[in-house]
Amino acid sequence: MTDVTNGEYDAFLDALAEGEGYYLTCENEHGLLPPRRACPHCGDRELAERDLPPSGEIVTHTTVFVPTPQFEDDAPYVTAVVDFAGVRLTGVVRGIDQAAVEIGDRVTATVESNETTDEQTIVFRPAE
C-alpha cells in the first residue's frame, strides 16, 4: 500500500480554501475526508469525489487554553468538530465569540494561517 503524502492533504486544503471542498465516498456510501486510499469502514478502494456541502453544524467543541507549541500564539482558541452531511472536519472556530460558540451553530469551512507558525489550518466561520 502506498503511503498518503502531505501533497494530497495540501491539495485538499487548497481546494477547501478556494471554496471547492470535497470528500470521498465508497460504493457503500461511507463519507470520507481526504486523503484516503481505501474506506476505513469496509475496505473499498473504489472512491468517488463529492462536493463538500457549503455549511455544516458544530457537533462538539472545546476551548484550548494550553496549546501545543505550534498553536502557542493562537491560544486561547476554540476547536470544533463539524458535521457536513455525514462527514466531519476538525478545525478552529473564528468569527464567533468564544463564549458564544454552541453545538448546532452553522459554519462554513475554509483554510487560514495560524498565528504561531503561519501554517495552513482548517477554520470554521459563521455561515451567512
Domain assignment of residue 31, given as a range: 1-52
Give the lowest-confidence range in 3-12, 17-26, 41-50: 3-12
Whether residues 101 and 86 share a domain: the answer is: yes
Instruction: Give per-residue pLDDT as tens, 71-110.
Output: 999 999 999 999 998 899 999 999 999 999 999 999 999 9
More confident residue, 4 or 41: 41
Whether residues 39 and 93 share a domain: the answer is: no
What is the DSSP secondary structure assignment for residue 114, as one 8-state letter? -
Whether residues 61 and 119 share a domain: the answer is: yes
Side chain identity at residue 128, one-letter code: E
- Rounded distance, CA 93 to CA 108, Å? 10
Side chain identity at residue 92, one-letter code: V
Whether residues 75 and 119 share a domain: the answer is: yes
Q: How many domains does the chain contain in total?
A: 2
Q: Give the domain-ending residue among 52, 74, 90.
A: 52
CATH code of 118's domain:
2.40.50
- Quote the cell numbers at residue 64: 484550548
Instruction: Give per-residue pLDDT as tens, 65-82.
Output: 999 998 999 999 999 999
Its pTM stands at 0.88
Whether residues 115 and 64 share a domain: the answer is: yes
pLDDT of 4 > 60? The answer is no
b/e map of 55-75 (b: 16 or more CB within 10 Å)?
bbbbeebeeeeebeeebeebe
Whether residues 47 and 62 share a domain: the answer is: no
- Rounded distance, CA 124 to CA 56, Å? 9
